[in-house]
């Protein structure tokens, strides 16, 4: 994992918006988050820092990587994706680089893709990265406070390699489970810049009817009306999240003949501490069975699961033979889980 050095406390946010440490902690559990250096750090450079550690711990070199999967919603460029920038920065061979656009579920989706390539025997060393630089594009005025206080920057990475067939006792990814429901796409979304031209939304975003060719992608009206920032209907997201998280965790357990008591550690996407606590209670898991670190890093979207996995492993909370469940839910909506024998 890699997180920027710059720690931003809840009180630090008071200079931009009307909020309070008490409100943020009570509603989200977050005490502080990290913000990348404004100009020296990007989503890709943070991904590179995490990837260097993952590759070193795997005992290989960047030249051994034969496929890259990079998950982010905050790419350095609209296109090309961060995967190729990482390939260049790490001087890797001209291997395939796939960018995954699944927001908070991005890392679990990316892991699932990599898992299939490993299981078919196509690749032997796959680098899977989740990284975000949220701080570049949040509404730091009071208007955007329901979103801005939640998100933080950082990156996590893993190297996936083949093991003996994962039968339940040996190490490996036992199964992955992916879902989507686009009916709620606009509930948690960044509409602009984009090509939608109000096709999907009833509310009039910017003034596309008046816009000339060439003024549709990014306009002064979008900026004047703060429509270039993420939008979130927090309570609606909360309601669906607390339903889908337990469902997709149970799906993974049931598919492999396990029950909740078999989980050594659940690593949920760090969306909100209240969501994690709700899931823990609903599944009857003990405090030792669930890992949370949103207090320190906020919600780092595609980076949150690998950052939490890395921390948990470094703290000795993920040991050989453990049954580890990763689970995520987010914009799309998309949700996903992975069951691993460590
Ligand atoms: C965002 C979230 C923390 C808001 O908490 P909530 O209890 O639902 O709060 P609401 O949005 O209903 O807002 C309650 C009040 O707090 C205010 N408020 C919102 N953000 C605030 C902030 N940062 N500081 C202070 N007050 C804030 C609102 O303006 C509202 O005021 P009002 O009652 O006077 O209108 C919560 O909905 C949530 O966590 N949702 C899930 C979001 C999530 O996980 N997103 C990531 C996707 S994986």
Q: Is the CB of 299 under 6 A from ligand 1?
A: yes
Catalytic residue among 104, 292, 293, 325: 104
Give the pLDDT of residue 82. 98
Give the pLDDT of residue 250. 98
More confident residue, 149 or 168: 149
Q: Per-residue pLDDT tens for 105-138?
A: 999 999 999 999 999 999 999 999 999 999 999 9
Q: Is the CB of 27 under 6 A from ligand 1?
A: yes
Q: Per-residue pLDDT tens for 221-270?
A: 888 889 999 999 999 999 999 999 999 999 999 999 999 999 999 999 99
Give the pLDDT of residue 220. 85
Q: Whose CA is nearest to atom 11 of ligand 1?
A: 234
Give the pLDDT of residue 202. 75
Give the pLDDT of residue 165. 63
Residue 208's pLDDT band (cuts 50, 70, 90): confident
Which of 10-19, 63-72, 189-198 has the weakest average pLDDT?
189-198
Q: Whose CA is nearest to atom 47 of ligand 1?
A: 330
Q: Which of 20, 27, 105 to mutate to test the pocket of ligand 1 (most atoms within 8 A of CB)?
A: 27
| 104 carries an active-site annotation | yes
Mean pLDDT over 147-161 rounds to 98
Q: Whose CA is nearest to atom 24 of ligand 1?
A: 19
In the predicted model, is pLDDT for residue 309 greater than 90? yes
Share the mean pLDDT of the chain.
Answer: 95
Q: Are 142 and 155 in contact (CB under 8 A)?
A: no
Give the pLDDT of residue 324. 98
In the predicted model, is pLDDT for residue 167 greater than 60? no
Give the pLDDT of residue 166. 52
Closest ligand 1 atom, CA of 148? 23
Tokens describing residue 291: 């890992």
| 179 carries an active-site annotation | no
* Of the candidates 300, 229, 248, 244, the residue with the CA atom closest to the CA atom of residue 271: 300
Question: What percent of the chain has pLDDT above 90?
Answer: 88
Residue 201's pLDDT band (cuts 50, 70, 90): confident
**CA dist 88 → 76, 95, 341 (Å):** 14, 11, 33
CA 173 to chain centre: 19
Q: Is the CB of 104 under 6 A from ligand 1?
A: yes
DSSP assignment string, 153-221: -EEEEEEE---S---SSSSEEEEEEEEE-GGGGGGEE---SSS-TTSS-SS--TTTTTPPTTSSSS-HH
Question: What percent of the chain has pLDDT above 70?
Answer: 99
| 269 carries an active-site annotation | yes
Which of 61-65, 139-143, 174-178, 208-212 has the weakest average pLDDT?
208-212
Q: Is the CB of 316 under 6 A from ligand 1?
A: no
Q: Per-residue pLDDT tens for 311-325?
A: 999 999 999 999 999
Q: Is the CB of 235 under 6 A from ligand 1?
A: yes
pTM over 0.85: yes
Give the integer Cα–Cα distance in Å for 136 and 42.
9
Q: Are 302 and 277 in contact (CB under 8 A)?
A: no
Tokens describing residue 17: 């918006």
């Amino acid at each position: 994992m890699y997180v920027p050095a710059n720690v931003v406390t809840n009180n630090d946010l008071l200079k931009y918006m009307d909020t309070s440490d008490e409100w943020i902690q009570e509603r989200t559990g977050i005490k502080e988050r990290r913000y990348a250096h404004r100009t020296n750090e990007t989503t890709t450079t943070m991904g590179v820092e995490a990837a260097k550690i993952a590759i070193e711990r795997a005992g290989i070199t960047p030249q051994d990587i034969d496929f890259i999967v990079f998950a982010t919603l905050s790419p350095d460029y609209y296109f090309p994706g961060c995967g190729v920038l990482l390939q260049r920065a790490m001087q890797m061979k001209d291997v395939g680089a796939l960018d995954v656009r699944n927001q908070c579920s991005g890392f679990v989706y990316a892991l699932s893709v990599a898992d299939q390539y490993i299981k078919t025997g196509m690749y032997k060393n796959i680098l899977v990265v989740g990284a975000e630089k949220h701080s570049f594009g949040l509404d730091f005025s009071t208007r955007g406070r329901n979103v801005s206080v939640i998100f933080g920057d950082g990156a996590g990475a893993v190297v996936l390699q083949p093991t003996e067939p994962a039968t339940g006792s040996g190490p490996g990814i036992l199964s992955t489970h992916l879902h989507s429901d686009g009916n709620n796409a606009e509930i948690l979304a960044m509409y602009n810049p984009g090509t939608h031209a109000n096709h999907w939304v009833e509310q009039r975003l910017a003034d596309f009817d008046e816009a000339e060719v060439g003024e549709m992608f990014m306009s002064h009206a979008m900026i004047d009306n703060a429509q270039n920032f993420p939008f979130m209907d927090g309570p609606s997201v909360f309601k669906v999240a607390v339903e889908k998280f337990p469902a997709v965790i149970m799906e993974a357990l049931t598919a492999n003949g396990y029950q909740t008591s078999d989980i050594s550690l659940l690593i949920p996407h760090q969306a909100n501490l209240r969501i994690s606590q709700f899931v823990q209670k609903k599944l009857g898991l003990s405090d030792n069975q669930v890992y949370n670190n949103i207090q320190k890093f906020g919600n780092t979207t595609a980076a949150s699961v690998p950052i939490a996995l890395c921390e948990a492993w470094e703290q000795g909370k993920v040991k050989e033979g453990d049954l580890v469940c990763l689970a995520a839910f987010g914009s799309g909506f998309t949700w996903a889980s992975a069951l691993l024998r460590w």
